[in-house]
Amino acid sequence: MEERLKRILEIALSYNVTDIHFSADQRNKNNVTVEMRVNGKMKRLKPESDDLKLFFYLMYRANLDVSDTLNPQTGSMQEKVGKQILSLRFAVVSSYHIISGVLRILNNHSTLKIDDLTVQKEAVEWMKSITRHRSGLFIFSGPTGSGKTTSLYTILNECEGKKIFTLEDPVEVDSEHYVQLQINDKQHLSYAEGIKQLMRHDPDIIMIGEIRDDTAARMAVRSSLTGHLVVTSIHSSSCISAVHRMLDLGVEQYQLQDVLRGVSNQRLYESCKGNKTGVYEIMTGKDLHEYFEKGKASLRFRTIEENIKLAVSNGIISESQAAADLIA
């Protein structure tokens, strides 16, 4: 099992993959697939006869209950591959026929600079400006796989001389640059309790990994209201829908308007030069004020679709890549 695991991890490292997917068919115990996402597409590894044993071996190594495949479970472990010690998280969930497991490599991330995230000058300047703020709320939005977490961590990595704490559910990237707390209801560490504890440690910056519910939304705003710089992410299709999402989660508009300094929405593509690049929609300052006051974006505001089309016309990304995001 150990050798099979190391080979899979070596393949993942060679392609800079962070998530390895395992699917076991409960109707056919020999039908186990191992896949990983390479350049946005799922690639299946050549199956081996002991892959089902590997699945349960991962559960054992992650301190999960191997006799319980019905309830969702998440655990962690470490594995040495070559000279590198990998921090791993294994999450298991079961449907009627399929047991699904995802092995995430938490520290398989090269250190990026803000300039590496995108060629959009206005987006680069805006993200760099966040590192100079002392307070306020900044929200990064977009669909799954759009690079929101990468944007957040990259900005944090460029905030030198700051006391940084993160509150995540779960921790997505293992970092030594800041203190990371993981939400754990069993240990009574909720968002509310986590924020309460962080305030006792005099933070300069608080990163709330992802806003999924009303508690996380309220905590993000409350932390900003106390004079802290807060960065977070939320699932949405645009900057405006990100604002709507916060309001739908029960945040008072007057409070959000008081602390919100900027919202972005992004998509991630492989550029024509072969590297990953983000395309960003950004709403800040006057645009946010005008939206809150008039309920619509200003004429100067450029939508994510307009930015994607501009990236295509400038030869940054291909038209075929952009097609799915430009469907009306």
> Which pLDDT score, from 0 to 100, does residue 173 have?
78
- Indicate the range of 10-14, 66-70, 169-173, 289-293 predicted with least confidence: 169-173
Query: Using one digit for the tens of pLDDT, what is the confidence trace for 46-82?
Result: 988 889 899 999 999 999 999 888 888 988 899 999 8
The answer, yes or no, to whether residue 137 has pLDDT greater than 70, is yes
Where would I find the beta strands (DSSP E) of 45-196?
73-81, 84-94, 98-105, 136-142, 164-168, 179-182
The answer, yes or no, to whether residue 280 has pLDDT greater than 80, is yes
> Which pLDDT score, from 0 to 100, does residue 76 have?
87
pLDDT > 70 in the chain, percent: 97
Query: Using one digit for the tens of pLDDT, what is the confidence trace for 102-118?
Result: 998 877 666 789 999 99
Q: pTM score, two decimals?
A: 0.81
Within 10 Å of residue 143's Cβ, how many Cβ atoms? 14
CB of 75 within 8 A of CB of 89?
yes
| Rounded average pLDDT over 92-103 | 90
CB of 121 within 8 A of CB of 83?
no
The answer, yes or no, to whether residue 21 has pLDDT greater than 80, is yes
Burial 160-172 (b: 16+ CB within 10 A, else e): eeeebbbbbbbbb
CB of 114 within 8 A of CB of 93?
no
